[in-house]
């Protein structure tokens, strides 16, 4: 193992390695830990450290270890039961890691995260500072979701997603998703001997239509191949090359990072990615989203929605707009939300113009930070669509209103799980495990209580009282109760285009919508900004 490693030119990299439950404990009772595998991970991590790399481990397995401790055969159905098992298992899991790492004198740290730690900018930055400090101290942070306090609505749900978020927090060069299969295949290799490995992915959108995402996980884990695609999309958008690899071949990490694009090497300078160990590499986006933009797009949940007209959409795509929206372009506000909370932006467009300008819609004039890579897919994937993927295309073409929204993003917002991906692959495999909702609907009371960490100290206004009262009735209702206005007739489409940070609360923006900025002070009694949304990030 160390021969390969010793040849590596030690450009210090930040590497996140994610191990699923299936790699930590056996899937069947009595859920014995995979000690040999865990030891080889520990040896690999320590050697990476000795080469100057910074390493973060994302480790599932708390519930599995909890089951073993309590001599139970199944995790049961109740949420609190699972939370209790995680509480029992997490301590033992970290003790197991500490025991193994101490054999090689490597200090570790436990980092338990929940979704609100990421949604809240201050907590996100605090987590970032802690990671940075730990890595500087030469410690290996071991991350898991804090299952004991994560209820369904606010869960990451699977550690693939959590590992992508951890990668963005630490600005990782690589994320290795270790699992029980070597790589992504064009079909399920266990059912179809003609399934081909997909070795390099440049365009995740395209690859999703052409590969099997049938889960190869076990009864204990919640992830599968689909959640790995979500993780890859999130991580590559943050500038992290993501690799799916068999956990038994963890030693291959050395040759992957030796041949791959690092911080000082451009992807175009690495033409031999098809060679080397069998794994799937999702190449990082060359134009990675900046930390704050990534956080707005993926870390932050939208507390409300602002619907804008086509003119405003064109305007905010121009560089001169600075990614900020004026009140004049706002048609409707859906809240409630507080000032400085994130809001979804939706453009209301005439259907005809959507069809005519479809290409323009796909490629907005100025969208340097689009989360969707349009590069061509890996040549190793057959180009002729399968019947299933053809039907997937058909269904997309009938759903014009969704064309601007990355399906990954839709899954994140809807928490609808990933069963569509299974049907795209057209494989007769049972249903995917449910992926709990990833974009939580936080109660306004919690949002307003903190009034969002980004907010400057704004004197409490009647508007805030207004939204508090409103929140007790219905946290997602439309502020403007004009039914005619709500009706989007067949000539119109509403398309989600991105997210931004509201500069006023929902009641205030509703009052100044359609107005010139010069009227803000007269209407609201104060003017914090001439814009209603700032820091716009396009999907
Ligand atoms: N946080 C949970 C693991 C969640 C989970 O199942 O993740 P994974 O095995 O990666 O699909 C635990 O530690 O048991």
SS3 track for 230-246: HHHHHHHHCCCEEEEEE
Question: Which residues' Cβ are closer than 6 Å to ligand 1?
Answer: 20-21, 60-64, 86, 144-145, 147, 158-159, 221-223
What is the Cα–Cα distance from 102 to 6, expressed in whole angstroms? Answer: 23
Of 473, 475, 535, 479, residue with least CA distance to 506: 479
Residue 271 is predicted with a pLDDT of 53
What is the Cα–Cα distance from 85 to 66, expressed in whole angstroms? Answer: 5
Would you call 378 exposed, middle or buried from its count of C-beta atoms within 10 A (0-12, 13-18, 19+)? buried
Return all residues near 249 (Cβ < 8 A) that are at least 6 apart.
Answer: 182, 277, 279
What is the Cα–Cα distance from 27 to 363, expressed in whole angstroms? Answer: 45
Per-residue tens of pLDDT for the chain, all 539 residues = 444 445 444 689 999 999 999 999 999 999 999 999 999 999 999 999 999 999 999 999 999 999 999 999 998 878 899 999 999 999 999 999 999 999 999 999 999 998 888 877 888 999 999 999 999 999 999 999 999 988 665 567 689 989 999 999 999 999 999 998 889 988 877 788 888 889 999 988 788 777 766 544 444 455 578 889 889 988 998 999 999 999 999 999 999 998 775 554 445 555 566 778 999 999 998 777 788 788 877 877 788 999 999 999 999 999 888 889 999 999 999 988 888 778 999 999 987 654 454 444 433 333 333 322 222 234 334 433 333 333 333 232 323 333 333 333 333 333 333 232 222 222 222 223 332 222 322 222 222 222 222 222 223 333 333 333 333 323 333 444 444 455 556 788 899 998 888 989 999 999 999 999 999 999 999 898 999 998 888 87
Q: Are strands 184-185 and 197-198 parallel, antiparallel or unpaired?
A: antiparallel
Atom of ligand 1 nearest to the CA of 66: 14
CA distances from 422 to 140, 199, 429 (A): 36, 20, 8
Q: Whose CA is nearest to atom 3 of ligand 1?
A: 60
CA of 310 to the centre of ligand 1 (A): 43
Residue with tokens 């069963």: 419
CA of 411 to the centre of ligand 1 (A): 19
CA of 88 to the centre of ligand 1 (A): 14
Residue 117 is predicted with a pLDDT of 86
Q: Which helix (H) or strand (E) holds 140?
A: strand 140-145
Pocket test for ligand 1, best of 159, 161, 163, 229 (most atoms within 8 A of CB): 159
Q: What is the mean pLDDT of the chain?
A: 74
| β partners of residue 349 | 493
- Is residue 205 within 8 A of residue 373, CB to CB? The reply is yes
Atom of ligand 1 nearest to the CA of 60: 13
Atom of ligand 1 nearest to the CA of 217: 11
- Is residue 197 within 8 A of residue 55, CB to CB? The reply is no
Residue 355 is predicted with a pLDDT of 46
- Is residue 490 within 8 A of residue 531, CB to CB? The reply is no
What is the Cα–Cα distance from 211 to 283, expressed in whole angstroms? Answer: 17
Sign of CA dihedral 238, 15, 143, 201: positive
- Is residue 2 within 8 A of residue 47, CB to CB? The reply is yes
Residue 299 is predicted with a pLDDT of 77
Atom of ligand 1 nearest to the CA of 90: 13
What is the Cα–Cα distance from 217 to 181, expressed in whole angstroms? Answer: 9
What is the Cα–Cα distance from 507 to 517, expressed in whole angstroms? Answer: 16
Give per-residue burial for 433-451: e unless 16+ CB within 10 Å, then b: bebbbbbbebebeebbeeb
| β partners of residue 537 | 499
What is the Cα–Cα distance from 124 to 298, expressed in whole angstroms? Answer: 12
Of 118, 127, 60, residue with least CA distance to 89: 60
Residue 23 is predicted with a pLDDT of 92
pTM for the whole structure: 0.66
Q: Whose CA is nearest to atom 10 of ligand 1?
A: 20
Strand arrangement of the beta sheet that strand 342-350 belongs to: 330-334, 304-308, 342-350, 492-502, 533-538
- Is residue 65 within 8 A of residue 32, CB to CB? The reply is no
What HEC string does 306-372 produce? EEECHHHHHHHHCHHHCCCECHHHEEEEECCCCCCCEEEEEEEEEHHHHHHCHHHHHCCCCCCCCCC
Can you read off the two tokens belonging to residue 204?
A: 């995740």
């Amino acid at each position: 193992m160390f021969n390969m490693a010793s040849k590596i030119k030690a450009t210090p990299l930040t590497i996140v390695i994610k191990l699923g439950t299936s790699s930590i404990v056996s899937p069947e009772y009595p859920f014995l830990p995979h000690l040999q595998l865990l030891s080889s991970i520990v040896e690999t991590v320590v050697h990476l450290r000795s080469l100057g790399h910074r390493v973060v481990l994302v480790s599932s397995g708390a519930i599995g270890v909890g089951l073993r401790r309590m001599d139970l055969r199944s995790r049961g159905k109740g949420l609190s039961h699972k939370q209790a098992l995680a509480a029992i298992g997490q301590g033992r899991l970290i003790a197991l890691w500490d025991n193994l790492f101490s054999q090689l004198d490597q200090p570790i740290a436990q980092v338990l995260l929940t979704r609100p730690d990421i949604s809240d900018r201050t907590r996100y930055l605090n987590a970032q500072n802690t990671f940075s400090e730990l890595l500087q101290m030469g410690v290996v942070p071991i991350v898991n979701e804090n299952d004991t306090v994560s209820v369904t609505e606010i869960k990451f749900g699977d550690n693939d997603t959590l590992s992508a978020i951890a990668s963005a927090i630490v600005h990782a060069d690589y994320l290795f998703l270790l699992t029980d299969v070597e790589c992504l295949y064009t079909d399920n290799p266990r059912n179809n001997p003609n399934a081909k490995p997909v070795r390099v992915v440049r365009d995740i959108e395209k690859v999703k239509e052409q590969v099997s995402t049938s889960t190869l996980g076990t009864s204990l884990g919640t992830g599968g191949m689909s959640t790995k695609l979500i993780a890859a999309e999130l991580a590559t958008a943050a500038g992290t090359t993501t690799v799916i690899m068999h956990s038994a071949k963890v030693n291959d990490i050395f040759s992957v990072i030796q041949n791959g694009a690092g911080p000082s090497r451009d992807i175009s300078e690495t033409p031999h990615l098809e060679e080397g160990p069998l794994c799937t590499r999702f190449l990082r986006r060359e134009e990675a989203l900046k930390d704050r933009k990534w956080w707005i797009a993926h870390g932050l949940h939208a507390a409300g929605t602002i619907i804008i007209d086509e003119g405003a959409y064109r305007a905010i795509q121009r560089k001169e707009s600075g990614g900020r929206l004026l009140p004049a372009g706002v048609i409707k506000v859906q809240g409630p939300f507080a000032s400085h909370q994130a809001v979804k932006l939706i453009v209301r467009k005439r259907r005809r113009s959507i069809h005519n300008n479809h290409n323009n819609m796909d490629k907005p004039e100025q969208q340097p930070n689009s989360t969707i890579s349009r590069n061509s897919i890996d040549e190793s994937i057959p180009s002729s669509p399968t019947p299933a993927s053809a039907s997937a295309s058909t269904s997309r073409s009938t759903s014009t209103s969704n064309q601007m929204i990355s399906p990954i993003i839709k899954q994140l917002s809807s928490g609808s799980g990933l069963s569509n991906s299974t049907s795209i692959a057209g494989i007769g495999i049972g249903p995917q495990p449910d992926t709990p909702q990833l974009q939580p609907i936080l109660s306004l009371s919690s949002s307003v209580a903190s009034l969002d960490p980004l907010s400057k100290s704004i004197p409490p206004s009647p508007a805030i009282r207004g939204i508090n009262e409103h929140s007790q009735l219905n946290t997602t209702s439309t502020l403007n109760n004009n039914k005619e206005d709500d009706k989007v007739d067949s000539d119109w489409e509403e398309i989600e285009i991105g997210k931004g940070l509201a500069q006023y609360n929902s009641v205030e923006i509703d009052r100044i919508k359609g107005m010139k900025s010069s009227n803000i002070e007269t209407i609201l009694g104060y003017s914090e900004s001439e814009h209603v949304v700032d820091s716009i990030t396009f999907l």
